[in-house]
Chains A and B, each alone.
Chain A
Amino acid sequence: GAGVSQSPRYKVAKRGQDVALRCDPISGHVSLFWYQQALGQGPEFLTYFQNEAQLDKSGLPSDRFFAERPEGSVSTLKIQRTQQEDSAVYLCASSPRTNLNEQFFGPGTRLTVL
């Protein structure tokens, strides 16, 4: 079956632009996670949804970052007024239950802010 998909795969933005990154989780997966992976580092947690509820957003680095999952399926990560330090790969992962399960990762969106 289809895995987690993300779009766009690559995004180049000028500093100050807003961007929106999309994640399509595996159908029926309850949990959805966003991670940020800077070059040479491991993924860092950003936020977590259980269905449409955003249960943890403690990893969002600033109020310029906003995520939503309005219908409990597709999720969008929005970054306003992008800065160079936002350049990273943004990974989305989904999981069929709330705990004790494997997270299935998407291919990521590589964001470059010039």
Chain B
Amino acid sequence: AQRVTQPEKLLSVFKGAPVELKCNYSYSGSPELFWYVQYSRQRLQLLLRHISRESIKGFTADLNKGETSFHLKKPFAQEEDSAMYYCALRRGSTLGRLYFGRGTQLTVWP
């Protein structure tokens, strides 16, 4: 079975501080990992995916298969980064369905 764990329900940092949102997964195959974000009063949207190896809004995430982790990092948090962040996994063979973690609410204080 597959599982996505986000251990922190709430995370607060000050503006300019580094931030890391943790995501661990369990899946025996080769997963695809994603980070989705939901800003206040907006819909859920894709932030980044591991397969693209991209940096979006200063965020990066590296898939570590040894540690089964896909932590989201940003070196200097901004107030506008305050949002709910969901880590999600897709199994290669499952036609696109996503398995989500419970989410981490990030608050960036001025």
Interface set of A (CB-CB < 8 Å, partner B) = 3-4, 31, 33, 35, 40-45, 48, 50, 55-56, 59, 91, 93, 95, 98-108
In the complex, A44→B98 CA distance in Å? Answer: 8
Residue numbers in A under 8 Å from B43 (CB-CB): 3-4, 105-108
Give the Cβ gap from B81 to chain A, nearest Cβ, in Å: 19
Residue numbers in A under 8 Å from B102 (CB-CB): 40-42
Residue numbers in B under 8 Å from A33 (CB-CB): 96-98
Partner pick for A48 among B4, B45, B96, B99, CB 8 A cutoff: B96
What residue in chain A is nearest B103 (Cβ atoms)? Answer: A42
Give the Cβ gap from A12 to chain B, nearest Cβ, in Å: 20
In the complex, A107→B45 CA distance in Å? Answer: 10
In the complex, A99→B91 CA distance in Å? Answer: 10
Query: Quick one: which of B29-53 are within 8 Å of A by CB?
Result: 32, 43-46, 49, 51
Q: Tell whether, in the assembled complex, residue A95 and residue B96 are in contact, meaning their CB atoms are under 8 Å apart.
A: yes
A-B contact pairs, 20 of them (CB 8 A): A4-B43, A31-B96, A35-B98, A40-B9, A42-B86, A43-B98, A44-B100, A48-B95, A48-B97, A55-B95, A56-B95, A59-B97, A95-B96, A99-B96, A100-B51, A101-B96, A105-B44, A106-B43, A107-B43, A108-B43
Chain B facing A: main interface SS: loop
Asked if A91 meets B44 with Cβ closer than 8 Å, knowing A43-B86, A100-B51, the reply is yes
Give the Cβ gap from A72 to chain B, nearest Cβ, in Å: 16
In the complex, A31→B90 CA distance in Å? Answer: 15
Residue numbers in B under 8 Å from A106 (CB-CB): 43
Give the Cβ gap from B106 to chain A, nearest Cβ, in Å: 15
Residue numbers in A under 8 Å from B45 (CB-CB): 104-105
Give the Cβ gap from B21 to chain A, nearest Cβ, in Å: 13
Residue numbers in B under 8 Å from A102 (CB-CB): 46, 49
Query: Quick one: which of B58-110 are within 8 Å of A by CB?
Result: 86, 88, 94-103
Residue numbers in B under 8 Å from A55 (CB-CB): 95
Residue numbers in A under 8 Å from B9 (CB-CB): 40
